[in-house]
Structure 1
Amino acid sequence: MCGRFALTAKVENVLDYVSVASIEDFPARFNIAPTQPILIVIEGDTGAPGSNLPKRRAMLARWGFMPGWVKDPREFPLLVNARSETAIEKASFRAAMRHRRILIPASGFYEWHRPEKGSKQKSQAYWVRPKHGKIVAFAGLMETWASADGSEVDTACILTAPANPSFAPIHDRMPVIIPPEEFARWLDCKTQEPRNIQDLMVSPPEDLFEAVPVSDRVNKVANTGPDIQDRIAPSEMAVQPKPVKTKAARRESDGGQMDLF
């Protein structure tokens, strides 16, 4: 799963990577947590004839997906992630898969290796960043939830896939990454039905990310400085990631996320 991530790139770099007309200036964010606003990219309306401006549009959404048919958000779980293998059929995500696919720019994400219950091993946090040092785009879904009083909240979640072999020793799932050459196809909800883009909802390439052991300071939402990404010597009791050839177990957990409302 993906329960924390970061976006620390400069605005101009994000603009260039996702090809949007404009983005309001934003600070570097080193510890983005569920229920917080996140930057998302959607396919916008066609521009004026002859315009060279991209159709894509950047906006903010709250991280924690809420289907439009939910009556009381207090009685519905916070959906931070959606499993790519089942999102097309799941009632919560089916409409968004067809009509509201998004990109979520990120500089990387955090994951925790958690030992089995009863083990003497300690949990170890990792900052998982692209080896090329640039930006990636998570595959995501969005939904606008409307309350009984008419107020609306744009919400979003990140699609995940089974971990690739090199990441599997840390966790059994990881975010789906959409490569730049496939942005248009992923965002095109008018002509590209969910079955047409299933090939994109797969594990990231083996050589895309590197996992850097970091301190448990990332566990606290209040810690938002760049130092939470500093490399540390992993605990001797923590499992060290090694490439393996076995398939990752297919398991999703809620990771103890906070309430959306």
Structure 2
Amino acid sequence: MCGRYTLRSRLNRILDQFAVETADFEWTPRYNIAPTQNAPVIYMEGGERTIAPLRWGLIPSWAKEASIGARMINARGETVAEKPAFRAAFKRRRCLAPADGYYEWKKEGTKKQPCFFHLADDQPFALAGLWEEWNGEIKGETKRWRSFTIITTDANPQTAAIHDRMPLILGESQWDLWLDPEFEDKTQLQAMIQPLADDDFFEIDAVSTQVNSPKNDSAECVVPIG
């Protein structure tokens, strides 16, 4: 599962790395992005890479209420092509969620220790996801909402000691094909859903339980402890 992540990078760095021309929103560094919050997502629109803040927790187009999105923050890669909530988006609305770290919780007896996964240079990487559009009301506002989910897969050897699942991370050579809404070869797409091959990709730090609360969103969330 992937239930919290960070995007501390400045927007201009994200645009440059992901080859997106412009963005019409502002972004401040985030240390604890949580479900139902907005986060930048990259997808194709009008034949170009577009970046926009979408709501985390995919709301299927057929949903009666937005609350279903809180249960759709992740999509299991093994079933994503067939599950009713995700199969239409998997076919045509694939996306990338830029991140520069994510959290998992390691069971230690009766407690859970939050751990922070990030690169040594804190460079952003691409979490593979799906996006969807839903027409309805959220917090008194009725409009067409765009939301997203992050695909997960089995953990690789490096991360398995912490958790048995990890987010699907795609390399730059895979981005064009993943984002292409005209590409519908299910076999090739499914073949991309694999645990990260690089077992030395991340640095993993035990961090404070401050991250347990979505209300905490400061640099203290990522400071190693012990």
What is the TM-score when the length of structure 2 is the normalising length? Answer: 0.92
**Structure-2 residue corresponding to 1:126:** 115
**Structure-1 residue corresponding to 2:98:** 105
One-letter identity of the residue aligned with 1:99:
R
Runs (4+) of structure 1 moved beyond 4 Å? 74-77
1:202 equivalent to 2:203? Answer no
Query: Number of matched residues?
Result: 221
Share of identical aligned residues, percent?
Answer: 34
**Structure-2 residue corresponding to 1:182:** 174
Q: Which has the higher strand share?
A: 2
Unaligned residue ranges in structure 1 (runs of 5+): 47-54, 234-261
Give the 3-state SS of the residue equivalent to 1:12 in structure 2: helix
* Range moving further from structure 2, 2-11 or 147-156: 147-156
**Structure-1 residue corresponding to 2:155:** 163
**Structure-2 residue corresponding to 1:2:** 2
Deviation readout 1:97-119 (Å, 9 max, x if unpaired): 0010000000110110125xxxx
Shift in alpha-carbon separation, 1:20–1:76, aligned structure 2, 3 A: closer
**Structure-1 residue corresponding to 2:56:** 63
- Kept in 2, the 8 Å contact 1:108–1:130? The answer is yes
Unaligned residue ranges in structure 2 (runs of 5+): none
User: 1:92: how far off?
Assistant: 0.8
Which of these residues, 136, 144, 163, is aligned with residue 125 of structure 2?
136
Deviation readout 1:155-202 (Å, 9 max, x if unpaired): 101000011112111111010001111110110120343322222211
User: 1:94: how far off?
Assistant: 0.4
Q: Which has the higher helix share?
A: 2
User: 1:121: how far off?
Assistant: 4.5
Deviation readout 1:20-57 (Å, 9 max, x if unpaired): 111233100011000000100011223xxxxxxxx201
Which of these residues, 197, 214, 226, is aligned with residue 219 of structure 2?
226
One-letter identity of the residue aligned with 2:153:
A
Task: Give distance in 2, aligned partners of 1:128 and 1:75.
Answer: 28
The higher radius of gyration belongs to 1
* Range moving further from structure 2, 212-221 or 73-82: 73-82
User: 1:76: how far off?
Assistant: 7.1
Shift in alpha-carbon separation, 1:131–1:98, aligned structure 2, 3 A: same
Shift in alpha-carbon separation, 1:198–1:44, aligned structure 2, 3 A: same
- Kept in 2, the 8 Å contact 1:185–1:192? The answer is no
Task: Give distance in 2, aligned partners of 1:217 and 1:26.
Answer: 22
Shift in alpha-carbon separation, 1:3–1:75, aligned structure 2, 3 A: closer
**Structure-1 residue corresponding to 2:74:** 81
Task: Give distance in 2, aligned partners of 1:21 and 1:218.
Answer: 33
One-letter identity of the residue aligned with 1:183:
W
What is the TM-score when the length of structure 1 is the normalising length? Answer: 0.80
Task: Give distance in 1, aligned partners of 2:112 and 2:29.
Answer: 27
Give the 3-state SS of the residue equivalent to 1:151 in structure 2: strand
1:95 equivalent to 2:88? Answer yes
**Structure-2 residue corresponding to 1:237:** none
